[in-house]
Amino acid sequence: MKPQPPRPINLSALTGFNVREFGAKGDGVADDTAAFQAALDAAGSARGTVFVPDGVYLCGTIRMPPHTGLLGNPTWGYREGSGALLRLRDAAGPCLIDITGAVGATINGLSLDGRDLGSGVHGIHMAPNPDKKEEDTPHIERCHISHFSGDGIRLDPAWCFSVRSCEIIFNKGNALAIRGWDGFILDNWFSGNQGAGYTSLGPTASVTMTGNRIEWNAKGGIHVAGGGHYNITGNYIDRSGGPAIHLTTRDGGPCNCFTVTGNVIYRSGKPEWTTSDLDSAHVRLEGAHGLVFVGNSMCVGMDDGGGKSSPQYGIVLKDLRNAVIANNTLHIAALKALIHDLGGHGEGVIVKDNPGVLFRDEGKNIWASGQM
């Protein structure tokens, strides 16, 4: 008997709700907003997930009820979405997917396209919820989020969250902007955004950032103001328009208890995007208490096709307390100074064993020539 090819899994049968059965066309022309909202409302009554078959769905703002999911086929590529693609219909709403109050919401495998419409329109948005009684726990996974006039994802605030294996690219705001606590940010691309790759909007704490590629973001790589208890480990941060990592104060309060280790940082402070001398640095550590910055590698560079090398500084230090900056490698890491110490430190600051050399030939593209 001839072996039969495996049958594709009927995801809509597993999840119980298919957006096409609620009238969605997915042809890129019809307005599918009402169909999505009807499917999500039905799923909300059963704590279910809505399956989104491949197609282009033109939508305004859709709102997820608590304990619901949106599930698509994550066949997107680096520069464009594919599979289950939701395209912003107009700029009338604050976002494409609103998860405010949607405790336990999961968005998995969707492509979201903002079409650069409006001003400050976000891809996925969680706004303040005056009725909050428990952890928010949104899960955003395997999504492609691009071309929004605001942030790709804006969680403001969120309590317990995860963003995993997503591509957040070509947005006019930040890739990921957060005010919140207890989060995992793992295995993402934050690329080509006009804001930062990651930025804190207010108090943030207990955040793990691991294994992300953060590149070509005009306002910098990772920016945290006044946060606490972060683990920033094993990320690759490339061609930022400011520092790859910037820890600073918020309302006079320090960044408190940070471990930053094992990150590779390359050609930060892209000159065309940098507005101040100190932003031409791989790292700015200012007002950080209880900081471990160990085992990171930094290197100068220019655009792939040539141009100006950067940054001016490797590490900029100011107003630290109980901090260790040690055993980092600054090989060909800066044009002006490997470590620029502005002083003002409190007790217990150790800066030692950070070997490296300055880069002298600004006309040489060391990445293209292989002379790393």
Give per-residue pLDDT as tens, 20-71.
999 999 999 999 999 999 999 999 999 999 999 999 999 999 999 999 999 9
Which of 215, 209, 220, 216 lies closest to 164, judged by CA?
Answer: 209
Q: How far is CA 174 from CA 149, 246, 270, in A?
A: 10, 15, 17
Strands 313-318 and 337-341: parallel
**Confidence band, pLDDT 50/70/90 cuts, at residue 372:** very low
* 3-state secondary structure (DSSP) of residue 13: helix
Look up the pTM and report it: 0.94
pLDDT tens digit sequence for 341-365: 999 999 999 999 999 999 986 555 5
- In this predicted structure, what is the pLDDT of residue 327? 98
- Dump strand ranges (E) for 226-305: 228-233, 236-238, 245-248, 255-261, 264-266, 281-286, 288-294, 297-299, 301-303
Q: Looking up tokens 């304990």, which residue turns up?
A: 67
pLDDT score of 368: 42
Distance CA 292, CA 290 (A): 7
User: How does pLDDT run across 96-128, given as a tens digit for each residue?
Assistant: 999 999 999 999 999 999 999 999 999 999 999
The confidence band for 181, taking pLDDT boundaries of 50, 70 and 90, is very high
What is the reported pLDDT for 16? 78
**366 has a pLDDT exceeding 60:** no
Query: Could you give the domains of the chain?
Result: 1-195 (2.160.20.10), 204-372 (no CATH)
15 pLDDT exceeds 60?
no
Mention every residue, 6+ apart, whose C-beta is less than 8 A from residue 369: none
Half-sphere exposure of 301 (CA within 13 A, CB side): 24
Count how many residues are written for the chain.
372
Say if strands 213-215 and 236-238 run parallel, antiparallel, or are unpaired: parallel
The residues near 130 (Cβ < 8 Å, ≥ 6 apart) are none
**pLDDT at 325 (0 to 100):** 98
Q: What is the mean pLDDT of the chain?
A: 94
Kindly state the DSSP code that residue 249 receives in the 8-state scheme. -
Supply the pLDDT for residue 93: 93
Q: Which region among 125-134, 174-183, 232-241, 257-266 has the lowest average model confidence (pLDDT)?
A: 125-134
- The pLDDT confidence band at residue 258, using thresholds 50, 70 and 90, is very high
Residue 288 has pLDDT above 60, yes or no: yes
DSSP annotation string for 174-230:
-SEEEEEEEEEEES-EEES-SS-SEEEEEEEEEEEEES-EEE--TT-SEEEES-EEE
